[in-house]
């Protein structure tokens, strides 16, 4: 299932990107519902590229049809991301800790100046989630995408607050 999310921030792309890469910001995401505290596994800088690995755990509720075939305790994954600091883009890949053959997901993020305000940013996220579980795969995909969209909206609020605090 494909998805797309667009968000606007009142800060230039480099500031938004710096917030997203800051380990302190990542800790702030622990307060958001449905995901456990993110665990920063690694950050490596290679010139203008930043490679980051973060582990997440799903902490929300699932429908009984889903929990009949998926153990919620095993819904953990690593998000591997490569950010290009020159063009303000990220390539993200989700790697499940369990059920590796049943879930694939990746997405791209682009931070661009807002057309009407060079000190504002539009973050565009385009991606795909594919779940291979008989009978419930489509429901799980819809639940994941719905959760991603909800999480993105909440994360945007955290970004806005973080940017305001950072001045």
**pLDDT tier, 66 (very low <50, low <70, confident <90, very high otherwise):** low
- 97-106 pLDDT per residue, tens: 987 788 899 9
pLDDT value of position 130:
93
* Residue 58: pLDDT over 90: no
pLDDT value of position 69:
67
Fold classification of 2-166 (topology level): Alpha-D-Glucose-1,6-Bisphosphate; Chain A, domain 4 (3.30.530)
**Could you identify the residue written with the tokens 């950072």?**
166
In 47-102, at which residue ranges do the beta strands (DSSP E only) sit? 49-57, 76-84, 89-96
Q: Map out the domains of the chain as residue ranges.
A: 2-166
pLDDT value of position 157:
94
First to last CA, the chain: 38
* Residue 43: pLDDT over 80: yes
pLDDT value of position 111:
97
**Could you identify the residue written with the tokens 């291979």?**
132
Q: Average pLDDT in the 129-153 region?
A: 85
Q: Which of 122, 119, 102 has the alpha carbon at shortest distance from 111?
A: 122
Q: How many CB atoms lie within 10 A of CB 119?
A: 12
DSSP code of residue 111: E
pLDDT value of position 72:
74
**pLDDT tier, 115 (very low <50, low <70, confident <90, very high otherwise):** confident
* Residue 82: pLDDT over 90: yes
Distance (Å) of CA 133 to CA 67, 104, 137, 148: 12, 12, 4, 19
């Amino acid at each position: 299932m494909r998805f797309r999310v667009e968000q606007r921030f009142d800060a230039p792309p480099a500031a938004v990107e710096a917030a997203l890469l800051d380990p302190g910001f990542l800790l702030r995401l622990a307060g958001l519902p449905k995901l456990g505290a993110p665990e920063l596994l690694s950050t490596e800088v290679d010139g203008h590229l930043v490679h980051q690995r973060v582990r997440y755990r799903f902490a929300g509720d699932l429908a009984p049809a889903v929990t009949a075939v998926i153990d919620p305790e095993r819904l953990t994954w690593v998000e591997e991301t490569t950010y290009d600091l020159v063009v303000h883009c990220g390539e993200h890949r989700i790697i499940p800790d369990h059920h590796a053959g049943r879930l694939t997901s990746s997405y791209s993020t682009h931070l661009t100046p807002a057309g009407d305000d060079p000190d504002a940013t539009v973050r565009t996220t385009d991606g795909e989630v594919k779940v291979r579980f008989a009978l419930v795969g489509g429901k799980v995909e819809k639940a994941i995408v719905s959760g991603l969209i909800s999480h993105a909206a909440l994360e945007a609020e955290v970004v806005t607050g973080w940017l305001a605090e950072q001045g």
